[in-house]
Amino acid sequence: MASKEIRRSQRLSGVEYEIRGPLVEEANRMEMQGNQIMRLNIGNPPQYGINPPDEIMHDLIYNLHNSQGYSESKGIFSARKAIMQYYQLKNFTNLSIEDIFVGNGVSEMIIMSMQSLLNDGDEMLVPSPDYPLWTAAVTLSGGNAVHYICDDQADWMPDIADIKAKITPRTRGIVLITPNNPTGAVYSRAVLEEIAEIARQNNLLIFSDEIYERLVMDNYQHVSIGSIAPDLPIATLNGLSKSHRVTGLRAGWIVFSGDKRHIRDYIEGLNLMASMRLCSNVPAQSIIQTSIGGYQSVDELLIPGGRIYEQRNAIYNGLSSIPGVSVMKPKAGLYIFPKIDTQKYAITDDKQFAMDLLHKERLLVVPGSGFNWQKQCYFRIVYLASVKELDEAASRLQHFLHGCERSSTVAASLETK
């Protein structure tokens, strides 16, 4: 009897994760052939020599002996207590240690939070561009990700009218990513207040992904929606991966604040999910109290002379100097999201552009469509590499684009269409 092909779940149809997708596989293949690839595709600070504070590593080592067994499924008490106090200082209301869950990074909490909430056909409002795991988690949970536009002509702020237009009776909640990945936008208080009013009028649960909230530059202020809407149920997701440079330890959490009377059953569902995975990484939990309760921070890297600050400026200046490339300077985070003028350059497909750039210049970036952004042609660059390397990346990009330049006659005809 012939064997029948075993195929993947249909729920994976349409699920993509370009950050670690075919481009990375091709880069790996090229490296196996002896090519040196400049990888600017993923926000992994230790890969670029930006390491965690010594005190955090000391705590990790000190607690290893006592971290060999399972912990409580929601997380160890000291970690959850420190998280609760952190948000009390940010003016969150109605906080309870029982409504805080520690997970294996924010990624696990995203997946668990959607699996605990959505039924088949339910809708979640997700920003475009987004961190693609949100869209994937909604899809894998049987829901439909409905993308609302963040306006590239208005500092990438969410388009309030577009959000309102996309609410239906099946809408269960709205996802915010601020500071935003991939754009580096920091949502204003006024925009957050408008979104809170939309949630208030439509009985929506807000999920606020704030993993980059400690990576804000240029004296901009990050505002947590949980601090300005105490009458609403709000789930805030955060962690240590980026701010404390411990991506491999997987330390993240979700905090429920505000009026939780109508989401108790949902929180109990998330508690069931947490119990079934037994617990999150216990050694990583042991460093949370020190990380968010003491001086161990990223601040010194975000001011003039600091490494992340100077690298952000270097890639912004390098990209801005290339004719036909436009870009907003990120206010926060580790990424920049430039746009290529497709009238000036013969580029019509961002995935093909990224593959060609990899082949010709040995430079690995992520195409904009990988973040559920459909306008051409955007792409994301991680600015964790050194200033020298980022200057080289801008030079390689400019060299590549020079070979894609349209003739003046073709460019002029496109402008008139």
Give pLDDT, residue 414: 53
Task: Indicate if 339 and 388 belong to the same structural domain.
Answer: yes
pLDDT class of 208 with cuts at 50, 70, 90: very high
5 assigned to some structural domain: no
Q: Are residues 244 and 321 in the same domain?
A: no
Asked, for residue 1, whether it belongs to a domain, the answer is no
Domain boundary among 260, 293, 326: 293
In a domain, 260, yes or no: yes
Measure the CA–CA gap between 162 and 389, rounded to whole angstroms.
39
The structure tokens listed for 339 are: 């746009």
- Residues 44, 93 share a domain: no
CB 179 within 8 A of CB 212: yes
Residue 3, domain member (yes or no): no
CA angle 385, 388, 389 (to 5 degrees): 45
pLDDT at 329: 97
Instruction: Verify that 80 and 14 share a domain, yes or no.
Output: no
**How large a percentage of the chain has pLDDT more than 70?**
96
What percentage of residues in the chain have a pLDDT greater than 90?
85
pLDDT number for residue 411: 54
- Determine the number of helices (DSSP H) and then strands (DSSP E) in the chain: 14, 15
Which of 240, 261, 293 terminates a domain? The answer is 293
Of 16 and 212, the structure prediction assigns the larger pLDDT to: 212
Query: Does residue 4 sit within a domain?
Result: no
Q: Rounded CA gap, 26 and 367, in Å?
A: 14
In CATH, what number is assigned to the domain containing residue 24? 3.90.1150.10
CB-based contacts of 96: which residues, under 8 Å, 6+ apart?
A: 84
What pLDDT was estimated at residue 1? 65
With respect to residue 229, please indicate whether it lies within any of the assigned structural domains. yes
Give residue 408's pLDDT.
Answer: 61
CA–centroid distance for 395 within its chain: 27
Residue 162: which of 154, 43, 313 has the closest Cα? 154
C-alpha distances out from residue 271 to 74, 109, 168, 264, Å: 7, 11, 28, 10
Which domain covers residue 338, as residue numbers?
Answer: 10-50+300-415
Do 172 and 188 share a domain, yes or no? yes
Confidence of residue 181 (pLDDT cuts 50, 70, 90): very high
pLDDT of residue 227: 97
Which tens digits make up the pLDDT trace of 280-328? 989 999 999 999 987 767 899 999 999 999 999 999 999 999 999 999 9
DSSP-derived 3-state class of residue 20: helix
> Distance between CA 345 and CA 126 in Å, rounded?
31
Q: Are residues 273 and 306 in the same domain?
A: no
Is the alpha carbon torsion for 181, 187, 191, 192 positive or negative? positive
**What pLDDT score does 10 carry?**
78
User: Are 375 and 399 in a shared domain?
Assistant: yes
User: What mean pLDDT is predicted for residues 374-393?
Assistant: 96
Let me know whether 117 and 158 are in one domain.
yes
Report the DSSP beta bridge partners of residue 52. Answer: none
Beta carbons of 28 and 364 less than 8 angstroms apart:
no
Residue 38: per-residue pLDDT: 97
Provide mean pLDDT across the span 125-147.
Answer: 96
* Shared domain check, 309 and 287: no
Same domain, 174 and 264: yes
First to last CA, the chain: 60
Residues 326 and 345 in one domain: yes
Give the chain's domain count: 2
Tens of pLDDT, residues 160-170: 999 999 999 99
Residue 249 and residue 361 share a domain: no
The label of the residue with tokens 């500071």 reads 179
Point out the domain boundary residue: 272, 293, 314.
293
CB 41 within 8 A of CB 24: yes
Q: For position 198, which CATH number holds?
A: 3.40.640.10
Instruction: Kindly report the average pLDDT of the chain as a whole number.
Output: 93
> What are residue 103's DSSP bridge partners?
252
Query: What pTM does this model have?
Result: 0.92
* Residue 177 · residue 130 · CB < 8 Å: yes
Mean pLDDT of 247-255: 94
* Maximal CA-CA distance, the chain: 71
